[in-house]
Structure 1
Amino acid sequence: MKLLDLNRHGGIGANALFVQIGGVNLLIDSGLHPKHVGRAAIPDFKQIRGERVDLIVITHCHLDHIGSLPVAMREFPDAPVVMSASSRILIERMLHNSANVMKRQKAEQDIPEYPLFTHEEIDRCASRMVGLNFGLAKKVNGINPRDEIEIMLHPSGHVAGAAALEVRHKHRGIFFTGDVLFDDLRTLPGARFPTGHFDTIVTETTRGLTDRPAGQERVHEVERLIKSINDTIGRGGSFLLPVFALGRMQEILTIMHDARKFGKLVDCPIVGSGLGLDLCDYFDEIRRKTNHVQFNRAILKELKLKSLPRKLTPGKDPERNALYIVSSGMLVENTPSYTLASGLLGHHRNTIGFVGYCDPDTPGGALLESHPGDDFIFETLHVRSRIKARVEKFELSGHAEREELLEFSLQAEPRTVVLTHGDPEARGWFAQQFAERDDRIKVLDPKPGETYQV
């Protein structure tokens, strides 16, 4: 097998792997880097220009995995695209939203390359996208009919539709984990991976630097979150939960619904906003068609969810004494959560609670690194706020614990492990652990732009 990482910047970002197995060429994912704009944000397809791509495989619908897919399909017009049946339901809505965001960024930031693709292009290429049921084997041929591999998708938790990829070529097995969560969520079962030998494991490493302390298991973190919300509302404040639209919004809404049903959540207005609410309809469709998620849109009515006012005044506390569940999860500029935070942060009675990963270079990441009493600047809103509100982090990650991924890889007794989707330090932890636990395993940490024989 040959492997080439097309992510220009490494780490977590514009995820895209070009893989050659037995005469068959695969492109696995085609993401968009959240820290960059324009062409710098997409994979470096020039490195494989002139190569044939027999199949594009999408592991899940977060934008760091699909955000440049129409560009890849333009580059490789003959390549079909396969993903899980659940992801097929979601992907067009996610891409259309991305096109809208790029159009807005072009207007606001004068980015001449945006949008990288149009709504019309998404509609034109949609017929090439095919959903594949989990556990169903599919044969893929190269240019020579005798070149053949077999692929199979396995549920990887993380988010609705997320899939790991198993590839079989002759007597060799290769396993790409994609993004993984082994824990069951309220809305989604955890990963269900095959056990036994694989010659090569290509694993994500997102939480390689994160050691979950005893007592911070998911069930305890959910309890702590509900308690913090109740305390905040009880002292006359508002609680802001910035959430990712796909997966986290629906999970948090379900947690709040269950807590209220069993009398554990204080009676207060719940306000929602963003793409995540629209995606609730799609989760309903996934439940009906694939039975892969446990989410019913009726909970929005039962929660009496209210809409966020369209116009929020930057730096002004809404003083509504409410629970706000809005995007974006990292307080990215020019989003509802960013504007709300600018008004809530300066008052002792309020709380801002993060329930997912925050990149250190985002406003959410910067806020988590700040201290009470510091001044915090909301640059695009021209607001300076003294940090008086509580800022809390709840360990409700959508990614597997590092030890779980390590144990899965070790039980497979691979000859080679390839490290992906993690910061350099996170990958370093995995490399060290594999060296200590089984020094017969060859560990590769691929550099962008370099081709590896695996």
Structure 2
Amino acid sequence: MKLLDLNRQGGIGANCLFVQIGGVNLLIDSGLNPKHVGRVATPDFGKIRGERVDLIVITHCHLDHIGSVPVAMREFPDAPVIMTASSRILIERMLHNSTNVMKRQKEENDIPEYPLFSHEEIDRCARRMVGLNFGMVKRFHGVDPRHEIEIVLHPAGHVAGACALEVRHKHRGIFFTGDVLFDNLRTLPGAHFPTGHFDTIVTETTRGLTEREVGKERVHEVDALIKSINDTIGRGGSFLLPVFALGRMQEILTILHDARRFGKLVDCPIIGSGLGIALCDYFDEIRRKTQHVQFNRSTLKELKLKALPRKVTPGQDPQRNGLFVVSSGMLVENTPSYALASGLLGHHRNTIGFVGYCDPDTPGGKLLECKPGDDFIFETVHVRSKVKARIERYELSGHAEREELLEFALQATPRAVVLTHGDPAARKWFEGQFAARGPDIKVLDPVPGQTYQV
């Protein structure tokens, strides 16, 4: 197998692997780097220009994995695109929203390259996208039909539609984990991977630097979150939950619904907004068509979810004595959570609680590093605030624990392991563990833009 990482900056960004297996050329994912704008945020397709791509595989619908799919399809107009049936329901909505965001960024920041693709191009691309059921064996070949591979998609947890990719060529098996979560969520069962030998494992490493403390298990973190919400409301404050629109929004709403149903959540207004609310309809459709998720749109009605006003005044505390569940999860500029945080932060009675990963360079990541009394500047809305609200973080990650990924890889007794989707230090932890526990395993941490024979 030959492998080339097209993610220009490496780490977690515009995820995209070009893989050559048995005469078949695969492109696995085609994301957009949230830290960059314009062409530099896309995979470096120039590295494989002139190469043939026989198949594009999408592991799931987060934008760091699908944000440049129409660009890839433009580059390789003959390549079919496969994904799970659930991802097929979601992908067009996610891409259309991305176009809208890029149009807004073009106007606000004068980015001439945006949007990278139009709504019309997404509609044209959709005809080439095919959804497969988990466990279905599909055969593909390159130019020469004698060179054939088998592909199977396996449930990877993480988010609705997420899959791992198993590729078989002759007697050799290669397994790409994609983004994976083994824990069951309220809305989604955990990953279900095949056991036994694989020649090569290509694994994500997101939480390589994170060791979950005893007592910080998911069930305890959910309890702590509900208690903090109750306490904040009881003190007359508001609680802001910044969430990712795809997956985390629906999971949190289900957690709140269950807590209220069993009398654990205080009676208070729950206010939501953004793409995540619109995606609730898609999750309901996935439940009805594939039984892959356990989310019913009636959850919104039973929670009596209220819509966030279209205009949120930055720097102004809304004083709703309620719970705000809005995106973005990292308090990215020009989002509802960013505007709300600028008004809530300066008051002791309020709480801002993060339930997912925050990149250190985002406003959310920077706020998590602050101490009470520090000054915090919301640059794009020109607000300076003292950190007076409680800033909390709950370990409700959508990614597997590092030990779980390590154990899965080791039980497969692979000849080689390839490390992907993780910061350098996170990958380093995995590299050290494999050196200690699987010294005969060849471990590869690919440099972007370099081709490797695995």
Find the residue that maps to 2:105 and give its secondary structure: helix
Is 2:129 aligned against 1:129? yes
1:261-292 Cα shifts (integer Å, max 9, x gaps): 00000000000001000000000000000000
Partner of 2:390: 390
Query: What one-letter code is carried by the residue in structure 2 that aligns with 1:79?
Result: A
Alignment length (residue pairs): 454
Aligned to 1:399: 399
CA offset digits 1:306-334 (Å, max 9, x no partner): 00011111100000100000000000000
1:33-432 correspondence runs (5 A)? 33-432=33-432
AA aligned opposite 2:336: P
* Separation (CA, whole Å) in 2 of partners of 1:56 and 1:298: 36
Q: Secondary structure at the match of 2:114?
A: coil
- Quote the Cα distance in structure 2 between the aligned partners of 1:64 and 1:376: 28
Q: Secondary structure at the match of 2:140?
A: strand
Shift of 1:385: 0.3
Output the CA distance in 2 between the equivalents of 1:156 and 1:372.
Answer: 39
Aligned-residue identity in percent: 84
Structure 2: runs of 5 or more not aligned: none
AA of the residue aligned to 2:92:
E
Q: TM-score, normalised by structure 1?
A: 1.00
SS in 2 for 1:352: strand
Alignment-derived partner of residue 8 in structure 1: 8
| Structure 1 residue aligned with 2:21 | 21
Amino acid at match of 2:30: S
Partner letter of residue 157 of structure 1?
Answer: G
Letter of the 1:422 counterpart: G
- 2:394 corresponds to which letter in structure 1? F
Task: Classify the secondary structure of the residue corresponding to 1:419.
Answer: strand
Structure 1 residue 438: Cα displacement: 1.1
- In 2, the alpha carbon distance for the partners of 1:140 and 1:22 equals 11
Letter in 1 for 2:396: L
2:354 partner amino acid: F
Using the alignment, how far apart are the partners of 1:224 and 1:294 within structure 2? 23
- Provide, for residues 340-392 of structure 1, a one-character-per-residue CA deviation record: whole Å limited to 9, x for no partner: 00000000000000000000000000000111000000000000000000000
> What CA distance in whole angstroms lies between the structure 1 residues aligned with 2:123 and 2:136?
27
Mapped partners of 1:122, 1:22: distance in 2: 31
Counterpart residue identity of residue 11, structure 2: G
**Aligned partners of 1:287, 1:172: CA distance in 2, in Å?**
35
SS at match of 2:314: coil
CA shift digits 1:234-269 (9 cap, x unpaired): 000000000000000000000000000000000000
Unaligned runs of 5+ in 1: none
Q: Secondary structure at the match of 2:97?
A: helix
SS at match of 1:324: strand
Q: Which AA in structure 2 matches 1:222?
A: V
Q: Deviations over 1:22-75 (max 9, x none)?
A: 000000000000000000000000000000000000000000000000000000
The one-letter code of the counterpart of 1:135 is: G
CA distance in 1, matches of 2:318, 2:197: 56
